[in-house]
Structure formats: C-alpha cells, structure tokens
Structure 1
Amino acid sequence: MIKTKVDWPSFMARHDMTWSVKPNSWNEGAFIGNGFLGAMIYSEEHREKRNVLRFVLGCTDVTAQKPGGGFPPRVPVGELHLELVGWYYQPSSIRLDLWNAEMRAEITTTVGTLKVRAFVHSQDQVLSVELETSEGERAARMSWYAFSEVDHVLKNADGFNLNQYIPQAEVVREVNEDGLHVAVQTFNYAGGCTTAWIERRPEKGENLHQLWLSIGNGFNEQVKQKIEANVRNAVNQPRESWQALHRSWWHDYYQQSFVSIPDTMLESFYWIQMYKLASVTRSDGMIMDNQGPWLTTTPWAGVWFNMNVQMSYSPVYTSGRLELGESLVRAFRDNLEQLIRNVPEQYRGDSAGLGRSMSYDLAGNVGTEVGNLTWVCHNFWRHYRHSMNHSMLEELLFPLLKRSVQYYLHLLEEGEDGKLHLPPMISPEYGSFLQLTVPDTHYDLALLRWGCQTLLRIVRILDIDDPQKAKWETTLEQLVPLPVDETGFMIGAGQPLEFGHRHFSHLMAVFPLHLMSGDTTEERELIMRSLRHWFSREGDLRGFTFTGAASIAAALGEGDESLKYLKTLMHLLKPNTMYREAGPVIESPLAGAEAIHDMLLQSWGEEIRVFPAVPSTWREVAFHDLRAEGAFVVSASRAEGATMWIRVKSLAGQPCRLKTDMTGDIRMSASSNIQYRSLGGGIFELDLPQGEEAVLYRADYATADRGSWEVEPVPAESHMCGYFGGNKPWRLYGLPIQ
C-alpha cells in the first residue's frame, strides 16, 4: 500500500560527514565501529607528527581492575598509525560514507598522494584498512602501538589523563609464519587484551596496501586463538564479497525506518545518530556506556545510570531499531542477582536496586540516589510496548520492576498529614558536589508513582492476582503529591529550584514518564511555568538539558519551542556530532534524535499522536515505519503545512486510537473490512487486526484515487549537505557553496 520513493544511496550521501582539511582532534574525528570494535580517525598538528593519521582503537568490553577497589573502568587498547612519508598537507578530503559505513580519504602529502578506505566489518570483529599510494608515498606504513607505547605528543593531544585510570601494561609481541602479528597486553592488576593483525604490502607493479586487525578482551590462549581466527578468516575471504556482506547489514539496518524533514542540518544530525547507534551497540553487545567504542580522555570510563544509559537507548524504540535495545535487556537479565546484592542485605529478599556508576557487571550499591533502576525499567516498558513481547514482560520487566518498587516501599514513612513520604534522597544532578539530599524528591516520587501504576497494569495484562496489588493501590492513594511552589515543580519538599540545573530530574513526571499530559489547562500551566523557571536560572545547562526540554515542549505540542531547544543543542555538539564535557557523554546527541521523534510521533498514554509538535517552518515532512506503542508501524506525510495521510499497521492486534490534525473530509483505505470511528477532537479509533493496515487520508489528497501513498525525501538545502564532520559554521548562513 505504501510506495517508497527513496534512493537510499543518494539520500544518505547528502548526510555523509565531510572534511576538507584534516581533523586534528577527537572532537572532529571520523568514527567507525560495529558495537564492539571501533576507531576514531584523526591527525595532529605537532610538527613531529604531521605525517601520522591516527586510528585510535577501542574495544567496548576491555576493562582493568584498579588498585584499592572501585569498579573496573574502560581503558585504552592502543592505536593504529598510518605513517606517511611526507607531511599530511593540502588539498585533502575525508568522507564518512554513512550508507556503506566506511571512511574514505584522499590525502595529499608533501611528497605524494594516497587514497585510504577503512571500515569495521558489520558482522566480523575486524577493522579493514586499504591504501592506494603514489610512488612518493609507496613507503607509507601502518604500525600498531599499545597505548603505553604511543608517543606522548599524541597520547596527551586530547587532554591529560588527570582523572582517568590507565593501567601499566606488559606487552608481548610475536609474528607467525603467515605474517600474523599478535600483541598481548597484560594489565598490572587484572585484565588485559589481545590484538592481532596482518598487513599485506603491495607487490611489484601493484599499489594496493591492506591491513586487517582484530581486538579482544582477555589475554589467555583461548582469546588469542579467537582473535587470530578473526583476522585469518577476514584475510581469506574474497575481498569484494566480504565487503558486500558488511554493506548489506548496514543497508538493511537503515531501511528499518525512514525520516525526512526540511531542516537539512537536523536531518543529517538524525541520520548520523542512527549510524552512531549501530556503531555503539548490537543486540549481543555491551551496554551503551558514556563513550561507545571511541574511548578518550575522561573521568567517566564506565556506565552511568542517573540518565546517561536511559537516554542513550531512548531513540531505539520509535525508530523501530529494537534489536539494539536487546543489549540493555540482556545485561539486566544476566545480572539480576547482582541487582539484588546492590541493596542492603535486609532488603534482598524482595528488592533490587542500581547505583549511579559502575562497570558492565552492574555492581553498584544503592545509596541516596534510589530511582535509577526504576528508570531503566521504564526503558524496558517502552521496549515491551513497542514490541509487545510478552515473554520479556513476564520474565524480566515484571519481577525487576516489582523489586525496584518494593525497595521504595521499604523506605516510605507515613507523615503527620497521613500521606506517605520518602526520606531525603539525591535528585540527579542538583547540588551534586554538595551531595544534597532532599525529602520527597520529584524524581523519586514520580518514578515510584509510575512504577506502581505500571505494576497494576502488568498484572491486568498477565491476568495474575499478585499479593502486592493492594499495597501498590494503597501507595498510589496515599503518596504525597509532587512538591510545587509558585515557580512550578520543586526539586523536593522544601527545596525550590534555586540555581541552574542541568538535569530534568525535577520534571520526570512530564518527561520521560508522561504522568502528566498537559491536556488540562492546569497541568499545562504548571508544566510551562516549570519549564520557564528552569531556563530562567540558566547556570549549568548542558546538552541533555536541551534534549529534555525539547521533548517536554514536544509533549505539549509546542513544536516551534522544541525546535529552538534542538537548535541550541547543535551549538553544543562537536563538529562530528559527538558531545563532550570533561569527557565524552554520548547520550546527549542520541537523545536529540529522540526529541526529533517526539516532534513526529508520540504514543504514550492512550493515543498514537501523529505530527504532534511539528514546527511551523516544517511545511513538508515524511516518515515511514516508525514504531508506536502497541507494536504499530506508522507512516505519514505532510505537505504545505498540513497532514495528507497516515498509514498504520498492527503487528500485535492491540487497540488502536490515532490523534491527528487532519481536517475536513477524512476517509480510510484498507485492505479488508476494517471499521473506524471518529471520536472528535481529531481522534479516530480503528478496529485493526494483527497484520492488517489502514490509511487515513484527506479526501483532496491528489493520489488518493489511485490508492497510492508515496514516501519520498523532502528536498535538501544544498549548502547544508555534508555539514557535519569538519567545522563548517559558514554554511549556516547560506554562503554560495556548490
């Protein structure tokens, strides 16, 4: 029923990241990865290193034990250097080809030229680098260095590692008869990693120079054999077919859903985040941490759960890329016993919890920041609602949420007012350096209320009579209301928002929990008052501040305001769309992609809201196969500032209610005898069986009589194509660039 007129290679090419001068820092680098292995590619301006193109390597599961305890952090694994004969010079160009997930460069040096192509294979744990050189650069070579061996000029180019644990490492190298190099690093306390590579230099009369490299966590013989096999298998594959396999995975991945908007910069930003998601994690990969495979100088070489992980995963649901969310699901399923051990011993019989920061084993004791596990359960709820996977609901989400809520229930105290209150807790990240605790924090009250409501909903879905049901109902009845003053939502009881606050922890009831819809005049006024006061404090506003505000504004239907927050985010990102404070924190750009989803499609509550917050300047918009709660696949098109048609397909046969701004004579086209009813206010109810689909459309839609519903890209602003990569602020102003 839907005809997609998307020339995918051409469409994605307009969003490729481009560099017309060499990138000289992590902030500008070209990044490649496959969820396990990655490389950030950039150079250096120091005169002693102007001949080096760095591939700063990363392996997402390599950690090291620190002396004196603490969780084992991520650690650097080494670098691959393309060491040129001459200095990297002009004219040169780099392109990160999103469609094929590979970096291509044409480099001019002071003695010659060369072409470089590199990718991390989508299904094999192998980095591939190919060179084609002129005669002057024929002696260019590729050299691997353990981090401890990297020259200090390069090692500290992105900042000194003042807050980061870097283990001492013993490096043992060997070369096999077939030219396979192996380097085993053993860290001084615990941990290590193994790197293997084969380099094929060009024979006489040839100029193709190739290298294949793999990295693995661990240093025993079993790991060594696995990494060696990775490289040998790649080398022995026919070059073109191995590359085609890599590309095929990415092509299928991108086409799971489609988004096109008339702001080419934001459209490019969105698709780079989709590329980034699959470069950071896979269904069988590690949890998305703060930096993905591209580890650099950071005080946060671990996993943070007071917002970072939850927001990093937020765009996988509406985009329909649910398989990437499986890495989070699997980690919590595998570590349930540890989550139980995270709470004090007297509560372990029925409770579980999650601290703020930890390693991949989820070992982090719960202190006075209590709500982190409940927030992760909200991610799982979204995963369930977008997939309607009942086994996940029954086997993971229900028991985990039940334990998370039960820990809160142990802490509740009845006050003199007869209401249930929470003791002083931390509201992330208000007064962080003071370790400020406040009773009845909005953050925790909202999460507890959402948790009880969701548990009651789950027992209805599963048709079980849980003995705790009455307790959850009583808690909802007696729980103290969210603290509010004349400025709006407070941090907690007796604690107004007095200074700049980077986190939206005092607005959790609005986003992401959507306990408050803003549908009533009173709710809307309270939310807007809170939003205005939040930003009037200015102060410590960060990237994720603006993504949260964008999603809150979108929930209220304020598309123009949501766009302003997103445009502000663009100024805080690095040229390659990464985000960095004292270290990389990957969630802010990924949450920006979720804010774009919130402008186009929302499905919390009882309705699927199509184009709920489209900015007035976005006259044409199209999306295809985005996911909505209830496991619906939704496509829609907007032209001349009005919605033309909406297609919805049911994957699970759930009740379907659509809300749209379409006006006039609205009709339905369906493949079978599907009934629909107008409930007023732009709300339509469809009786849509599993596997069936229907289109609501305006009667005056030009192609409706042909039964043709076309999805095609919005025309691009040519000067904004290839905007990200190298720093190009002049393109914002439409200077005449071909």
Structure 2
Amino acid sequence: MDIKKEYKVPKSYCNLNFDEPILNWDEAIPLGNGLTGCLIWGNGSPLNFSLDRGDLWDKRPANETLRDDFNYKKLIELVENKDQQGIRDLFDNCYNKPTPTKIPAGKIILDYGNVINISSHLNLENAVTDISVIKEEETSNIKSFIHATKKIGLITISNYEMVKELKIVAPKFGVKCEKQDAYEYRNEDKLHRSLKNLVYPEVKLYEEEDLRWFVQKTEEDLEYGIILGQKVISDDLYIVYSIGSSIDGENWLEDHKNNIREALESGYDIMLADHKNWWKKFWGKSSINLYDKELERMWYLTNYLFGSCSRKNAPPMPLQGVWTADNGELPPWKGDYHNDLNTQLSYLHYLKANHIEEGESFIDFLWNLVPEGKEFAKKFFDADGLCLPAVMTIDGKPLGGWPMYSLNLTNQIWLCQFFQRHWEYTGDDEFLENKAYPYLKETAKCMLRWLKPGKDGKLYLPLSSSPEIHDDELEAWLTPNSNYDLSLLRYLFSTLYTMADVLEYDEKSLWKEKLELLPELAVNENNVLMLSQDESLKESHRHHGHAMAIYPLDLFNYNLGGRDKKIIDSTIEDLEKLGKGFWVGFSFTWMSKFYSRQGNGDAAAFQLKLFWENLCSENGFHLNGDYKSKGLTNWHYRPFTLESNMCAADSIQEMLLQTFDKVIRVFPAIPYEWKKNGASFNDFRGMKGILISASIINDKVEYIHLKADKEGEYTIQNKFDSDCIIIKKEHNIEKINCNVGMNFKINLMKEEECTIIAK
C-alpha cells in the first residue's frame, strides 16, 4: 500500500480563539522565540504586550548561601540533632528573600479608550496573533508575532488613529534612594512577593526620531531596556520592538536600535515570510491525528509552547519559560530552575516529537554548567565530581529552600537521564563518548563520596528524602535509602555499566560492583513501592517520586510480566486508593504515564482530560491547582508553570508509541475508541534515531513506516492481526512469519526506509 502522510501542520481547531477580552496575564495569547516572550491580554483600555526575556535575572545571592557552613556536613549535623529551626534558618528561609530571581522586562501598552469589544486569535501554524478591536463604529485590526529567528517582535495596526496612547512601561520595581540598602525585605505574605522589593536606580526614558526606549539598571552589572520603533506604511502603523540587554555586549543599545531600523525598512511582510518558514519546518518534524480532537489539540498547542520557549542557543525553560508574570509580583517560585521534577518533565517529550534542536537547549545548558556543578560538588558536598543545586539560578547557583529537596544529592542523577536519553534517541555514539558518559561518571564520583556500607554491607546515604513528602518537617528525612534516591542510584550505575559496555571501557566492572552493592527497592507486603524501607505512602500526595522506577526511569518492565507487572499494577492500585485530594497538575500527567506503561489507554487518556479541562488556563498554560474549584483536588491556587504541559504531550506520545526497552511497540496504550475510529502519528523518533510512523483504524494496524538515521537492527512487536508480515523496501519485498504479539527484527541501512503491513 502507498503511505500518504498528512500535511504536518496543526488544524484550525487547534488554534486559540477568544471572543471576549482576556483579563488575566496567565490566560494571554503567548508568543515567543526561545529568548523573547510576549503575552497579549487586556480589554483594549489598555491592551498589554507583556514582555519577557529568558536571561534577565537578578542573581544577587541570599547571604546564607555564601556562609562557610552552608554545606552538606552542616545539614547532616542539624538533622542528627533534630534542629528543625536551625535547618530552616540556614537552608530554607533564604528562599524567601527577593533575590536571586527571574525578572520581567516590562510591556508595551496600546490604549484604545472605551472599547465595545475585543477578540483575539492565535494561528498555531504560523505563530501569528490577530486581534480585532471594535470602538463605536470603527474597527482596528492588530497582527503581531515574535520573529522566529531574530531578537525582535513585530506589530502592525490598521486604523491606528483609534489608538489613544502607545507607550512602553518598565516594571514597577522599588526605586533606590540614597543610603538605602539594595533591597528592602518585606516579610508579609503578599508584600514579600512584590517587585518593589527589587530596588533599582530609577528607570530612564529616551526618544530619538522614530525610536523610543527605556534603560533599567539593576544592582548588578546588568542593564536592559525595551526599544520600540514605529513607521506608517500605507494606512497601517508598523511597530518593531526588542528587549536589549548588556548581556548582548558593550554596544547592546545601538545594536538593537540598528536591528529595529533594519526591520522597519524591510517591512512587515518580508519579516513575516522568514518567520513563517521557520515554523513550517518546525511543524514538519512530526504530527499526530487522533479521534479525540481535544487531546490532539493539546499536543499541538503544547508543541507550540515548546517551540516558543525552547530554542538552540537560548536559555532552556525555567518554570514559566519566556512568560514571566505581569501582576506586580515576582514570578511563581521566582521563575527558577527546579531540578526535582520541573526541568525534567519540561524536557521529556522533545526527543520522541523529533524536535531535537529545540530540546538541545537543555542539554547544552547542563553541559555548559559543568564547571559550576563541579564547584558546587566541592563546596557543598565536599566531593569530587559534579552536582548542581536542585533549585538553582540560570548560572547554577543555589537559591535554598526546603533542603531535603532543594539541596538533595540525587536530583543530579535525574538530570543525567537527559544525556542518556539524548544518546539513545539520536544514536550518536560520539555524544556518548564525549559528553553523556563523562557527565554520568562525574555525577557518580559525587554520589560515591557519601555512599557508605551499612551493617548489611549495602551502600547507604547519610540523608534521604522523597520530594515533597512531609513537606519540610523533620519526618521528611526518611530512613536511607528512600525509593526515590535508590531508584536514581540504581539507574545511574546500571546506565554507566551499559554505556561503558558500549564504549568497551574496563570501568564497566566498577559500575556493576556498585550496582550490586545497592539495596533492592522497598516493596511492602502488598507489592506496592514504598517511600523507604520502613514507610509506605499513607495519604494522597502530589509527587510520585517513590514510584519513579516505573516512570521515567523504567527500572521495571510491564511487558516482562511476573514480579515487574505485579509491582506496577499494585503501585497504581495503591495510588488510586489514596486518591487525588492533594494532587496538582503534574500528578495527573505523571499518573497518565503509569497507565500507559500498564497498557491502560482509557485511564491514561482520562487523566489527561482531567488535567486539560480543570487545571489549565484557556490558553493552555498549566496553573497547577483546581483553580475552578470543581472539587478535583484540595489545591485551589493558580501559579503558572510549564512542566505539566510537556509531560502531558509526552504521555500522548507514550500512548501511541513505546520504545524504551529497544522494542518498537505501536499503539501500546490507546483507548478503544481510538483503535476503532482511527489514530496515527508521523515521524516520531525512536531509539538509535529511527523515525517511525503508523496508523490504526477499525482496531487494526494499517502500517508501520520506518526510516533509519543510522545503520542498525531494529526490533518491532507484531501488532498486526496476522502472523504473516510483509516488509516493503525500495528494491525488494520480504515476508516474515511472526506470531501476533511477538517480536521480529529488521535490518536497515542509513537513510533506508521500509513499510510494514500485514498480509
């Protein structure tokens, strides 16, 4: 049969459409290019273009993090003495200081005065927003995008005489007066989050012919500004803006002014053509077609968010990507890099979605922070090797926080997984030798500094925890080793063994020895994964870290049956019994992953529907809590973070395709309705760089299409309804006999393709 792949762009039903004013910043139309972000919202009086730039940080450290005793040894001492207040004073309270923090850039305001109505539309295919403002009997249309490859945003306004005021506005930081400290810390709950606690020199406003801008100096070397240029072309007002910063170099302001003038001269349409071309290539990397159009829409919108806030040569996504809050407050959790779940879930889906270059932002970031990780390992953990703080700034410095999680030793291992996954999904053995293996090896050095034999001869850590069990109480220090820590340690040494074996290094015997010295994961009498060897989860909890051996570490394989299957089934059943009362958004998307490993497509999809319909804003942003108060969970707040969106996209991909154990399994966990009414995916990436496409309808797999990035042997599970398989290559057709449900192998040359169908 001939394979006809769909044209790979999001359909119109995936777009964002608002027929009424958008009144909250976290429901805004989002635009971005990995470095610059914009949120468009408001009722026209005004219409806000809230701007962000990914590398704008106030990096001033809290004094506690600079103390000589801000280290693991002191933490162990305080825990042994049960000195909870001492722990909080040294390691936790510093997180409540205003800095370090991500900071917003400011905004552009269009004020139309009294508006009858305003409607907004975002076309995902080309990442352009279209806004219609109706005032009396007149209409003004606004089109805007952030250029995909240039550091500029563009706006064109028809009937621009309707605009009463156009201005750029700096954030409302505190203004520094003479003899005033760098910041004035306000302890009240609302006030301590205020941007006014960041006290800077007064902002300066400037104008020059067709340009206007402001410059905001901070208390460090950083200065930045929004620069705006405008020009009337035909009957439209054409605006180009950018966020410049001293990060860009000594002549940053002049460089940005020149860029804006060049874009004004080129015109809107020419700039738009280049922008559209980038997004066309982006959407051409992979696609899906689901019977459930709302989950299909979620996947496309999430990929749009990913493409907007993660790019090669730009900072990777922190908690809010390139969309820092515009509410007069510091961003939720100061917009930092949380490495106990948030960064990890944010970069789960890009490999299978075949957005390699955009995802490399995170890999490059971690690799570039190796010197900082080595310094932190030495200073905090008194260890050789590598370890980054689990809650950190853009330059890898600790912010503090609940130390059992923000300064946990093994969270570094979870970061290691992205080097392993990148190697396996690309098949790049040079990356393995030069980056992945060295990164994991340096991490292991730091772990081995603190792993000591217990009475049973097994290796144990001096402190152990499981995010974020028992919050920051003394009970949060679990009996070593927690299943969270142990899962990561077992993953680390087993992965190092595999890598050393591929590289033919003698060190593989060392990693095998360390793996064998680790205890087994704690499982209770009901075959449920425990928190630690003497404690089981007794109540609903948001973080499923005790079960991360199921996913994302894949230390158990449901397909093997036996004990692995029993533990996965029992642990899922236990989570069901404990309920969702204290879950947040990522709890649902993570639970969906567990169900996909179990092959339960209906349950996997249901968790995603609960997440999408109840814990996400109208623009798709994950808002963490049951902010609509539907009774889904006990959390009713709405702080915006992105990790659950990306986790949800990955869960859809895992429902459609699994390759984690080097076997290609198509449609392993989709609802029956999808099997019957149709589902397909194009160019998902599997292990060793293989690109995989497949289709199912009427409960029958129609085809599997493979394209190899490199020469190799590939294993495929027979999901057809026949024991006779036909493999079509360019110059030959081969028949294979394979029982339904069993595996068969195919050899492909580099760039070779084949189509697999049932006879």
Cα distance per residue 1:245-271 (max 9 Å; x no partner): 000100111011111111111111110
Does the aligned pair in 2 maintain the 1:300–1:583 contact within 8 Å? no
Deviation at 1:674, TM superposition (A): 7.8
Query: Judging changes above 3 Å, is the alpha-carbon distance between structure 1 residues 68 and 605 closer, same or farther for their aligned structure 2 residues?
Result: closer
Query: Judging changes above 3 Å, is the alpha-carbon distance between structure 1 residues 39 and 2 closer, same or farther for their aligned structure 2 residues?
Result: farther
Structure 2 counterparts to residues 216-365 of structure 1, below 5 A: 216-218=244-246, 221-296=250-325, 297-345=331-379, 350-364=384-398
What is the DSSP-based 3-state SS (H/G/I as helix, E as strand, rest coil) of the residue aligned with 2:58?
Answer: coil
What is the DSSP-based 3-state SS (H/G/I as helix, E as strand, rest coil) of the residue aligned with 2:291?
Answer: coil
1:512 aligns with 2:541: no
Cα distance per residue 1:357-409 (max 9 Å; x no partner): 11111123996512222111111211111112223212221111012122222
From 685, 688, 694, the counterpart of 1:630: 688
| Partner Cα separation in structure 2 for residue 260 and residue 354 of structure 1 | 40
Does the aligned pair in 2 maintain the 1:18–1:94 contact within 8 Å? yes
Name 2:460's counterpart in structure 1. 421
From 650, 667, 678, the counterpart of 2:708: 650
**What TM-score does the superposition give when structure 1 sets the normalisation length?**
0.87
Does the aligned pair in 2 maintain the 1:65–1:191 contact within 8 Å? no
| Partner Cα separation in structure 2 for residue 376 and residue 164 of structure 1 | 32
Name 1:736's counterpart in structure 2. none
Name 1:192's counterpart in structure 2. 223
Query: Judging changes above 3 Å, is the alpha-carbon distance between structure 1 residues 193 and 111 closer, same or farther for their aligned structure 2 residues?
Result: farther
Cα distance per residue 1:671-697 (max 9 Å; x no partner): 245867556433111112222121110
| Partner Cα separation in structure 1 for residue 536 and residue 353 of structure 2 | 36
| Partner Cα separation in structure 2 for residue 40 and residue 609 of structure 1 | 40
Aligned residues: 675
From 468, 474, 491, the counterpart of 2:513: 474
Cα distance per residue 1:279-327 (max 9 Å; x no partner): 0110111021000111014233211110111110111010000101211
Name 2:747's counterpart in structure 1. 687
Name 1:119's counterpart in structure 2. 145
Deviation at 1:493, TM superposition (A): 2.0
Name structure 1 gaps, 5 residues minimum: 45-49, 151-158, 700-738
Deviation at 1:627, TM superposition (A): 0.2
| Partner Cα separation in structure 1 for residue 477 and residue 378 of structure 2 | 19
Structure 2 counterparts to residues 574-723 of structure 1, below 5 A: 574-581=617-624, 583-618=639-674, 619=676, 620-664=678-722, 665-673=724-732, 680=739, 681-699=741-759
| Root mean square deviation, CA, Å | 2.3
What is the DSSP-based 3-state SS (H/G/I as helix, E as strand, rest coil) of the residue aligned with 1:247?
Answer: helix
Query: Judging changes above 3 Å, is the alpha-carbon distance between structure 1 residues 456 and 105 closer, same or farther for their aligned structure 2 residues?
Result: same
Query: Judging changes above 3 Å, is the alpha-carbon distance between structure 1 residues 456 and 148 closer, same or farther for their aligned structure 2 residues?
Result: same
Deviation at 1:350, TM superposition (A): 3.6
Name 2:104's counterpart in structure 1. 76
| Partner Cα separation in structure 2 for residue 114 and residue 271 of structure 1 | 29
| Partner Cα separation in structure 1 for residue 597 and residue 116 of structure 2 | 49
Does the aligned pair in 2 maintain the 1:161–1:298 contact within 8 Å? no
From 612, 615, 639, the counterpart of 1:572: 615
Does the aligned pair in 2 maintain the 1:163–1:299 contact within 8 Å? no
Structure 2 counterparts to residues 528-543 of structure 1, below 5 A: 528-538=569-579, 539-543=581-585
Name 1:714's counterpart in structure 2. none
Q: Equivalent pairs: percent with the same residue?
A: 25
Cα distance per residue 1:453-508 (max 9 Å; x no partner): 11111112222223xx3331112222111011135111112121022221121111
**What TM-score does the superposition give when structure 2 sets the normalisation length?**
0.85
From 239, 251, 254, the counterpart of 1:211: 239
Does the aligned pair in 1 maintain the 2:727–2:733 contact within 8 Å? no
| Partner Cα separation in structure 1 for residue 448 and residue 681 of structure 2 | 43
Query: Judging changes above 3 Å, is the alpha-carbon distance between structure 1 residues 358 and 547 closer, same or farther for their aligned structure 2 residues?
Result: same
| Partner Cα separation in structure 2 for residue 477 and residue 385 of structure 1 | 24
What is the DSSP-based 3-state SS (H/G/I as helix, E as strand, rest coil) of the residue aligned with 1:299?
Answer: helix
Cα distance per residue 1:496-534 (max 9 Å; x no partner): 102222112111111001110122132222112111222
Cα distance per residue 1:651-708 (max 9 Å; x no partner): 1123200114212142111124586755643311111222212111022xxxxxxxxx
Query: Judging changes above 3 Å, is the alpha-carbon distance between structure 1 residues 210 and 140 closer, same or farther for their aligned structure 2 residues?
Result: farther
| Partner Cα separation in structure 1 for residue 41 and residue 397 of structure 2 | 35
Q: Given residue 77 of structure 1, which amino acid in structure 2 is its aligned partner?
A: A
1:24 aligns with 2:23: yes
From 66, 74, 94, the counterpart of 2:120: 94
1:403 aligns with 2:427: no
| Partner Cα separation in structure 1 for residue 713 and residue 349 of structure 2 | 24
Cα distance per residue 1:182-234 (max 9 Å; x no partner): 311002355331221102246xxx53011110002338742212222221221
Deviation at 1:160, TM superposition (A): 5.6
From 556, 573, 589, the counterpart of 1:547: 589
Query: Judging changes above 3 Å, is the alpha-carbon distance between structure 1 residues 677 and 375 closer, same or farther for their aligned structure 2 residues?
Result: farther
Query: Judging changes above 3 Å, is the alpha-carbon distance between structure 1 residues 365 and 110 closer, same or farther for their aligned structure 2 residues?
Result: closer
The more displaced of 661-670 and 360-369 is 360-369
| Partner Cα separation in structure 2 for residue 310 and residue 379 of structure 1 | 8
1:454 aligns with 2:495: yes
Q: Given residue 591 of structure 2, which amino acid in structure 1 is its aligned partner?
A: A
Name 2:204's counterpart in structure 1. 172
Deviation at 1:142, TM superposition (A): 2.2
| Partner Cα separation in structure 2 for residue 299 and residue 346 of structure 1 | 22
Q: Given residue 61 of structure 1, which amino acid in structure 2 is its aligned partner?
A: D
Does the aligned pair in 2 maintain the 1:675–1:687 contact within 8 Å? no
| Partner Cα separation in structure 2 for residue 675 and residue 667 of structure 1 | 6
Structure 2 counterparts to residues 30-69 of structure 1, below 5 A: 30-43=29-42, 51-66=45-60, 68-69=62-63
Q: Return the structure number with greater relative CO, CA threshold 8 A, min gap 6.
A: 1
Q: Given residue 700 of structure 2, which amino acid in structure 1 is its aligned partner?
A: A
| Partner Cα separation in structure 2 for residue 496 and residue 654 of structure 1 | 44
What is the DSSP-based 3-state SS (H/G/I as helix, E as strand, rest coil) of the residue aligned with 1:14?
Answer: helix
1:108 aligns with 2:134: yes
Q: Given residue 548 of structure 1, which amino acid in structure 2 is its aligned partner?
A: W
Does the aligned pair in 2 maintain the 1:185–1:192 contact within 8 Å? yes
What is the DSSP-based 3-state SS (H/G/I as helix, E as strand, rest coil) of the residue aligned with 1:430?
Answer: coil
Cα distance per residue 1:125-148 (max 9 Å; x no partner): 1111111127xx534442110012
Q: Given residue 237 of structure 1, which amino acid in structure 2 is its aligned partner?
A: S
Does the aligned pair in 1 maintain the 2:726–2:735 contact within 8 Å? no
